[in-house]
């Protein structure tokens, strides 16, 4: 599976309706979490420690617990959603439809099909995970942190999500090479 280009991401975000659909795509892109983990998120799963914020993934693949950092940009979108858009509800889930019912995996799948029709190329939830992993490393992220963010136990599994090209291989090579 490849990754989304910057242009494709812009088109996807432009095609995503305001509210939970746009936030869902931003969370998938900004955290690399799986769509099932996204739909299982509750408001109480947000840890905001002032300087840093995290999502608590209580039951990731293999029933593993992990914390996933939230970028400042994503945090702003999250706060805006919680304060202005999320409908009043006693439901604990983070993402709620306009009728107050929780967003399910099938709901996100249908959203991505609608976005797909609008943009004219395949939009798949798991491709956001691949895009996150690749861009995280391109931006100088460390592989050990990426492994923990994605919730993998091995580097081999992490590398299945990373799609670097020859330009990525040469980036900063002259500064790092001993000769």
| Short-list 139, 132, 155, CA closest to 74 | 132
Give the Cα separation of 55 and 96 in Å (integer). Answer: 17
Query: Global pTM?
Result: 0.90
Q: How confident is the model over 141-168, as pLDDT tens digits?
A: 999 999 999 998 888 888 888 887 777 7
User: Looking at residue 62, what is its pLDDT?
Assistant: 62
pLDDT in tens, 66-118: 999 999 999 999 999 999 999 999 999 999 999 999 999 999 999 999 999 99
Q: Alpha-carbon distance 20 to 102, whole Å?
A: 10
- Cβ neighbours of residue 46 under 8 Å, at least 6 residues apart? 53, 54, 55, 56, 70, 78, 94
Q: Which residues are catalytic?
A: 34, 61, 126, 129, 152, 161
Q: Tens digit of pLDDT for each residue in 37-58?
A: 999 999 999 999 889 999 999 8
- Residues 6 or more apart whose CB falls under 8 angstroms from that of 154 comprise 147
Q: For each of the domains in the chain, give its residue range(s) and CATH number, in order of start.
A: 6-176 (1.10.443.10)
């Amino acid at each position: 599976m490849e990754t989304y280009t910057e242009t494709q991401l812009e088109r996807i975000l432009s095609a995503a309706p305001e509210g939970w659909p746009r936030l869902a795509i931003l969370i998938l892109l900004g955290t690399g979490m799986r769509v099932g983990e996204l739909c299982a998120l509750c408001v109480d799963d947000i840890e905001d420690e002032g300087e840093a914020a995290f999502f608590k993934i209580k039951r990731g693949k293999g029933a593993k617990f992990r914390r996933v950092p939230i970028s400042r940009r994503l945090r702003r979108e999250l706060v805006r959603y919680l304060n202005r858009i999320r409908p009043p509800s006693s439901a604990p889930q983070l993402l709620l439809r306009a009728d107050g019912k929780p967003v399910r995996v099938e709901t996100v799948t249908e959203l991505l099909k609608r976005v797909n029709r609008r943009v004219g190329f395949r939009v798949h939830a798991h491709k956001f995970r691949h895009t996150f992993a690749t861009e995280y490393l391109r931006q100088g992220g460390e592989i050990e942190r990426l492994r923990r963010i994605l919730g993998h136990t091995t580097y081999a599994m992490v590398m299945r999500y990373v799609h670097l090209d020859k330009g990525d291989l040469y980036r900063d090579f002259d500064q790092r090479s001993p000769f």
